[in-house]
Amino acid sequence: MAMTPRENFEAAMSRTRPEWVPLDLGKHIGSIHKTHYAELKPPLPQVGLKNGDLILDRMAQTIVPDEELLQYFNVDFRWLVPNWVQVKEREGVDAGGYYDMWGVPYKGAHGDHYAVDSLAKAPLADCETPQDILNADCWPDPEDPAQFAGLRERAKHLYDSTGYVLGADAIKAGPLMSALQMRGYEQFFMDLVINTELADALMGKITDLLCRMWTRFMDEVGDYVELAYVTDDLGSQTSLLISPKVYRKRIKPFHTQLHQHIKKAGNCYLMMHTDGAVLPLIEDLIETGADILNPVQTSTSGMENTSKLKEKFGDRLAFHGAMDVQQMMPGATHEELRWEIARRMKDLGSDGGYIIAPCHNIGHDIPVENTLKFFELVRVMGKYPINVEDALASDASYFVRLAQESGGE
């Protein structure tokens, strides 16, 4: 008898003979931009897409995928996403804007998403002492029942009536990114070095509130979910945002507190999202309690050699993503796309321990044909035992071609 997606995911996580490489789509960092979603409608009339105006993540302007599309693409996961609450619209801002539940100001950017407004004052910019942080009036209500309204019923329905893998989506960015946004990026990077008591107080307050929110979240869905998703970016395209020493002393304790709290509350796996060149911190992330690393951003320094990542960490860490959306999916031919899927499946998933997915949102710069071809190829190539040697024999690497065209080796 064939496995359900839930059973197959457990087999992949335990490296005990999964039947196929699990496929993910639909969480708030890992969905489809609304413009691209509209472009999918003409070639997929049989699917009947309807959710083009149902926004999943206001900042990224991604949509909640139709159930019919998830089924058409053979997606194994269904995500339980907290409701947007305590959000206020900004008045008099060109291109529109809003304050999120933590008081962080956002404004429209390039007409297709929102970004933190770096010219507006951050909500905690004027704080001078740890007590100022604790007494600030911008903190959200972690007990707001509206944040998780309806999720228990949805979780129970999906768990009882389907075999999909259920995940609890991230509530908010983690201690570091939240602190950077609430304090101001430049100011908080300085705080981490010269005002460490204030930095610790800020991340401690954020972590405490996140733990309380996750407690409420897991009270609602913890009986049904297999994994929880947390985010906190630690890397850029070429390096870490902070040194390993600063991470281990200042940030890692809060990651550990949050991750362990979530895993205990939900009795589930934990997937950690961090963009960028984070190779030097992967061992630390495992120690905080991360079971799955997302997104394995292969266009960044140190993350491109996925066979070495698997060799070094694969006995203790599963991998999620690795399908580059910055360069590869927008620019690859179908043969190069096939080669890329084959390589990542072979490197990361030969014995399980890999969930294939676009490493970030599917943006409007990706050709619709490449999106459709990606899901088609995964469906064909992802069955165990993984046998992709024919695809790899072509040596049709997009990144090799890109390097050659730019004058590299």
Q: Whole-angstrom Cα distance, residue 270 to residue 263? A: 7
Average pLDDT estimate for 68-86: 97
Q: At what angle do helices 252-266 and 196-221 cross, to 10 degrees?
A: 10
Q: Residue 34 has which token pair?
A: 């609304």
pLDDT tens profile 32-62:
999 999 999 999 999 999 998 899 999 999 9
399 residue type, one letter: F
SS3 2: coil
Nearest to 104 by CA among 194, 172, 170: 172
DSSP letter at 83 equals: P
Positive or negative torsion for Cα 67, 73, 74, 75: negative
Q: Whole-angstrom Cα distance, residue 218 to residue 264? A: 10
End-to-end CA distance of the chain: 49
For residue 398, pLDDT over 80 is answered with: yes
Contact present, 210 and 173 (Cβ < 8 Å): no
Nearest to 275 by CA among 297, 247, 298, 290: 297
Helices (H), 289-386: 306-313, 328-331, 334-349, 368-381
Q: What share of the chain is helix, strand, coil (3-state, %, to 5)?
A: 45, 15, 40
Phi, psi dihedral angles at 242 (to 5 degrees): -135, 160
pLDDT tens profile 374-392:
999 999 999 999 999 999 9
Q: Residue 84 has which token pair?
A: 């947007």
Radius of gyration of the chain (CA): 21
Q: 5-405 in CATH: which number?
A: 3.20.20.210
327 residue type, one letter: Q
For residue 205, pLDDT over 70 is answered with: yes
Q: What is the pLDDT of residue 335?
A: 96
Contact present, 296 and 360 (Cβ < 8 Å): no
Which residues face 7 on adjacent strands? none
- Show me where the domains of the chain are located: 5-405
Q: Whole-angstrom Cα distance, residue 165 to residue 77? A: 5
Q: What is the pTM (predicted TM-score) of this model?
A: 0.97
pLDDT bin (cut points 50, 70, 90) of residue 94 is: confident
